[in-house]
Structure 1
Amino acid sequence: QRLYHLRRLRDFKLPSQVLKTFYTCTIESVLTGSITSWFGNSTMQDRRALQRVVRSAESTIYTELPNLQDIYSARKIMKDLKHPNNGLFSLLRSGKRFSSLKANTERMRRSFFPQAIRSSNQETPR
């Protein structure tokens, strides 16, 4: 039902950044609510169904969105202080957003950790 509203906004020719913000606030927040507790125990069929919603939103917005597996992994790493990659998720002085990793190449920019940090920063309220 929320995808309907996303499509309506697209039909009004809103910029893709506005559509992505709407997706993050309304659709992704519902999909990822307490993801660390339920995603690990979900079946592949359930994961595919949820990922289908993300892919549908991607085609509506015409931009790449983080998949649910990446969001789940990033949230697990951020909460586990003993995880070897936890240090990559360092908060800025404001305590609200994570510091971005410097990516010299497109390959690095598209790798897991920079994307996880970007998606986490997009979720934080400003």
Structure 2
Amino acid sequence: MVQFYRAVIESVLTSSLTPTQKPGYKESSGQQSGSSAAPCPPIMDLHSSTTINRAVKIADDPSHPANSLFNLLHSGQRYRAIMSKTSRHLHSFSPQAISLLNNS
């Protein structure tokens, strides 16, 4: 049951989730009904860790098409924020990933 959850449900949730829920957001009962042996992590933690992992892989791979979006500043510790004029772009993967990388 846990393996099915991680393979199917968790992958769908993390690929299409945007971080718009508030920190006190309570997950749906569908996520909490998994096996009692292995508790499922909260959705926002899954989203953050998955986004950071994907962003690090993109930033480390110079052949990736989105590699040019992940530019380090002169300090070498933070990434350059992407300017966006619309909220649709602001809530897309790259600006959200850069924000998470800079805040972690």
In the aligned structure 1, how far is the partner of 2:67 from the partner of 2:93?
13
Amino acid in the other structure paired with 1:45: Y
Structure 2 counterpart of 1:78, from 38, 45, 59: 59
Give the TM-score normalised by the residue count of structure 1: 0.48
**How many residue pairs align between the two structures?**
75
Structure 1 residue matching 2:101: 3-state secondary structure = helix
Amino acid in the other structure paired with 2:53: Y
In the aligned structure 1, how far is the partner of 2:83 from the partner of 2:77?
19
Match status 1:96 vs 2:77: yes
Aligned-residue CA RMSD (Å): 3.2
| Structure 1 unpaired stretches of 5+ | 1-42, 52-57
Percent of pairs with identical residues? 33
Q: 1:102 and 1:44, CA in 2 relative to 1: closer, same or farther beyond 3 A?
A: farther
Q: Measure how far apart 1:44 and its partner are.
A: 5.5
Q: Determine the structure 2 residue equivalent to 1:116.
A: 97
Q: 1:104 and 1:61, CA in 2 relative to 1: closer, same or farther beyond 3 A?
A: same
Q: 1:95 and 1:46, CA in 2 relative to 1: closer, same or farther beyond 3 A?
A: same
Q: Measure how far apart 1:115 and its partner are.
A: 0.3
Q: Measure how far apart 1:89 and its partner are.
A: 0.4
Q: Which has the higher helix share?
A: 1
Q: Give deviations 1:88-120, integer Å, cap 9, x for gaps.
A: 000111110000000111111000100000000
Q: How does 1:54-73 map to 2 (within 5 A)?
A: 61-62=23-24, 65=44, 67=47, 68-73=49-54
